[in-house]
Chains A and B, each alone.
Chain A
């Protein structure tokens, strides 16, 4: 198994922190949107855009690129922030999130912003589209891979499991799915709203290879993706156990922050925490 060097891990962690700062700034400017999910998945987005994906921010339509499908479109601030930091578009455009005329729609739309592979938001549909991409790529003998991030709430959707059946049947090993397992959804904790456990057993029963992973541990995320690439007989799902709102103490683990943005005061506290890495270092701007 390939291990990234400590230096690379440190670089990615720093990028994840920058992505978190951008997320807070974007949500404050937008005045609406989802906080917890994007923060929890900031490590994932950093890992994907800065280490895993074969892509070219200057050529978003490059045919041989890996495809990253964001099924849980509501956490798009995390993706947008990662894309801007990777060079897809100017970082200042992040502040247009959710505003009239923006390319950064409240839920992402294909064709509006180059690099956004598909329109998403209505949950349960991303894995199916990803399976279609992976199936077509294999039909054409293409090497590019398809990655799909799904939420845990979306494990309650029928379409999602139709797609899981399909990918299992056709042994789509060029497809890797991720579950943003942060245990919260809009109305509360997933296991109260509609239990999805035992999640590993469900995926295994659908003929997928399953990896449980610490979704806020950069090394663990990268190792899991490498393992998925090595599994050639079936698709792989990586369950990213993570803390929603990660990096901002008063948001961590709170489902109330699922669909809410911070106000100015809360944003200031959040940014201070992120700049100081939770008080461990002095902030530059103080």
Chain B
């Protein structure tokens, strides 16, 4: 059973915590996309120059890159925020146990956590977007749509990682494995820095399953620098992942918190 007010109460507690502790992560979560923007958008972008426009459909490399960076950043935030912090909620801080001693139900704890991480990635995404705009990476108000697409992509990954984290008894090497063998390849081969069409044919199916590829395509379309033909498919794929991740998380949270 999940009630909206239960989820809202959990979200409120997280936000209250964040209000006190936001400084610890704020710099890094905005700095990271900024570094990529500088290195690739300006550094690498100046190198590829006009040639890149063959691949980007005529857009500046920086403008083409910006929406994808938003999506990439949201995915990394989502994955990280659902790894150690979720295990901490079960095991070290044991805040989940405290929450479920009240009328709040385990499924609401899970969805509240997802709502918080999503809100956080919206916030840091919005700040990143402003910074990107200052560097000239924005040409259209459509990037606001890119931000929404990015946040949705982050939520899809976050929900899945949360479900995984809820099954872990200790961190071991599991989270590092997720970062190295799932998140890192995903950021490299989801069309963020170059179109996946330039990859060998046998690699491309990997991109098709990657939520980040779908999110990147969606974000680019919204910013007016991408194709529109598969938009509904991308959207549906991400929503389905959010649904699967949330459903599994709710089940695993319930199992773990009501032994």
A and B are partners in one complex rather than unrelated chains: no
**B interface vs A, CB < 8 Å?**
none
